[in-house]
Amino acid sequence: MSNIIYIMGKSASGKDTIYKKIKEKMKIKTYILYTTRPIREGEQDGVDYYYVSEEQMAKLAEEGRVIESRTYQTIKGPWTYATIQDEQLAQSGDIITVGTLESYQKIKDYYKDKSETQVLPVYITIDEEERMHRALNREAIQEKPNYEEVKRRMLADNIDFSEENLKQCGITEKETFINDELEKCINEILQYVENSKDFK
């Protein structure tokens, strides 16, 4: 049986850093999402995301390869993020990926009747004041900082990751990890993954 370890959290919660650290420590295969969002300073195509055009995304949809997708109306126009059926998901063994609560639920539903694969949720959270501080610092290093977009993401995340939505998706205290100390948080997640082998 293969497991998909699904890392999620609000923007600037540290989920991408945790994803990379766990990937290194576990030496686990990865699944990289596709997006039409413009690449940011410091990001790499095929590492952070597969960056595709809207036309390329539409073609993947026409081919029936989109497992799930989400489109956000941003200050700079619509950005789509998607999980695509590709060679990454054909890999044997466990896989780690990062996404949103909405995408987690869709992936969970997709694999619901596929007993050979189970989806293990890992929800990263952090103090809201610290999250805002990190988000502003990250945006400040961009070539053209867009603080309106930061504000939009912060508000949208608070809706997307509301207590009600978390509960509906079955995310409890067991699957929630506070990222106030990075190494401690990573170790707790690693222990949780180890204890959840062949989880139901």
Q: What is the pTM of this model?
A: 0.84
The domains of the chain, with CATH numbers, are: 2-195 (3.40.50.300)
Q: Would you state the pLDDT for residue 1?
A: 59
- Confidence band for 69, pLDDT divided at 50, 70 and 90: very high
d(C-alpha 24, C-alpha 1), whole Å: 22
Average pLDDT, integer, range 133-137: 92
